[in-house]
Structure formats: C-alpha cells, structure tokens
Amino acid sequence: MALKLVTALAGGVGAARFLEGLIRVVKDEEISVIVNTGDDIELYGLQISPDVDIVIYTLAGIVDDEKGWGIKGDTFHCLEALQRYGYDTWFMLGDRDLATHIHRTHLLKKGFRLSEVIDKERIALGVKARIIPMTNDKVETIMVTDKGDIHFQEYLIKRKTQDEVLKVIFKGIEKAKPAPGVIDSIMKAKGITICPSNPIVSIGTILSVPGIRDSLRETKAKIVGISPLIAGAPVKGPADKLMSSLAMQLQIEKEEVSAYGVAKLYRDFLDAFIIDNLDANLKEKIEALGIKVIITDTIMKGLKEKMELAKVALKAIGV
C-alpha cells in the first residue's frame, strides 16, 4: 500500500461532513478512512453498510445533503412495493441506494471480502480517498435495553432511541480482525484525525476491534480528535444520551457528558482535541489529561466551515 498522509477514523454523518472539508484541503488520494461497520444490517437478504455508504456518497458528492445519508433525489418505489408484500420498511432504502446493496451482496456472495467490495464501490463512484472497513468480520452493535436486545439501527430508527440502554455489545468483536490496511494506515500515517462521530457506537466500535486501539497508542503519527459534543449536546443523534446511560461502564461521571468526557474516552492516544468556542471553559480540565486543546467554531454549517475545521485539524497534526 502506498503511504497515505492522513488517516481518519469515521462513523457516518458527522464524520462524512468533516471529511467533505478534509478532501478539499489535502489531496483526496492522500487520505485513508477507517469506517465503522458495527451498524451494518441485513435486510431483505441484502448486506447494508450505512456508515461506509454515507462516507462514500458524501465524498462522491451524491449524498442527500439534508439528511446526510442516502442518495440525493432518490425515490422509494421499491420500498413501497416491498411494503405491499408485507415487509417491514422502517429503514428508508432508496431505489438507487438499493443498487449499492444489491451490488455489495452479489460480490460478497461471489467470495469477495467486504474491504474489496468497498474498494470497488468507491472507485466506481469516483472517490479517490481510500475507504477501509474497520474489519471484514461480522460485528453487530447490539443495544441491551429495558425492552430486550435490539440491533443499533432498530434502536435508532425504528424505536427512535426511546428505550433505556443498559449496555452496548459489539457482538463478534473479540474474534474480529482489522481489515487489510487498517493497522498499516494507522502506523504509517503522518497524522490521524478522529472525526466528530459518536464516541460509543461509531468511534467506540472501531476502537474495540482488537489491535486498533493499541496501534493508535503506538503510532508515531500525531492524533487529533474533534468533539462531537458542543456544550454537552450532540449536533444530532444519541451520543449524550448513551454517554449518560453508560457512564459507569465508560468510567465517566454523569456530569462529564461533554467534550471533556469524550476527551477522557480517548485520553490514551489523543495528542490534541478540538473543542467548540462554547466549551472554552473545559480547556484546562482537558489539558490536565495531557491533551493539547484547540478552541474554534466546530459547527459545520457549510463547506467553508468544514474546510476551516479540516485546516485546524491538519495544523494540529503537522500536515
């Protein structure tokens, strides 16, 4: 593998928005993105990798910008037809999006590994950055709730995060191996960015693949994170709710559901952490963890803000 300059750890929507800026300030072929696959789900016999697709569609410029997932202008005729056959259709798979899942499932059935399939997908869609799944093995993010064990997508979308989460399990993680290129891209990068993604079910999942966290601790590359929490709340999604419910398991206090709490979760490998202007008061506390703090505007309203944030991150890792 050719040496890539920057490696990013990514979930879905939050990560993709940051990466949109990054590919405009560093050559996209110099970027490797390691993506969470714990959210993957099988529906109607099709293998769906939402976070991978979100990142690829975004970098290909075809994502539905408003939603942050799916394909711009997509239609939902197939889903409507499936509904008439009695299928459950809570997961909004668009007609063009379905082509990706048919293609992926077809190639997996032919014996290609997930990382190979993803490489074909991103090349076909004109994405020059390297997109690597965290693992080729099956890992499933399961929410242990007061109503029973639920797949993460069902918790998030079908049940709209209404259940009380007692524990999160990454089923299959103990046996999962990092996909080809994952460890190399961490060890050989000049700098690494931890995208502003959910610290538990996006970045937390990637970090739980045996070997990945250790390589982040060992690499000589500088590592910068961007806080997904601003003034204690996520821009979107259940990050704060999950951090609060799982505080004991995460070894944080309930009052630490903030950029400080996220920094604490990454303290063993982070060199620098970018927090929002609104969290300037947390600087000293985070620096006491041995992490350099950079304060800036982290709300990525438009392309300009995304590029500005990417520049700040690159400066922090010396790229």
Closest separation in Å from C-beta 97 to ligand GDP: 15
In which order are the strands placed within the sheet that holds 292-296? 130-133, 31-35, 6-10, 191-194, 222-226, 272-276, 292-296
In this structure, are residues 97 and 74 in contact, taking their beta carbons and an 8 Å threshold? Answer: yes
Please give the structure tokens belonging to residue 45.
Answer: 């016999």
Binding residue for ligand GDP, selected from 236, 254, 267, 315, defined by CB under 6 A: 236
Closest separation in Å from C-beta 13 to ligand GDP: 4
Closest separation in Å from C-beta 282 to ligand FO1: 25
298 binds ligand GDP (CB under 6 A): yes
Binding residues among 201-220 for ligand GDP as defined by CB under 6 A: 202
By a kind-dependent CB cut-off of 5 to 8 A, residue 196 interacts, out of ligand FO1, ligand GDP, none, with: ligand GDP
In angstroms, the Cα distances linking 51 to 68, 144, 209, 216 are 11, 21, 16, 21
Element (H, E) at 84: helix 77-84
By a kind-dependent CB cut-off of 5 to 8 A, residue 15 interacts, out of ligand FO1, ligand GDP, none, with: ligand GDP
CA–chain centroid gap for 295, Å, is 22
Binding residues among 6-35 for ligand FO1 as defined by CB under 6 A: 11-13
Amino acid letter at 158?
K
Closest separation in Å from C-beta 92 to ligand FO1: 3
51 binds ligand GDP (CB under 6 A): yes
Beta bridge partners of 168: 143
Beta bridge partners of 9: 34, 194
Binding residue for ligand FO1, selected from 20, 30, 53, 256, defined by CB under 6 A: 53
CA–chain centroid gap for 222, Å, is 19
Q: Which residues bind ligand FO1 (CB under 6 A)?
A: 11-13, 39, 50-51, 53-54, 69-70, 91-93, 97, 153, 157, 202
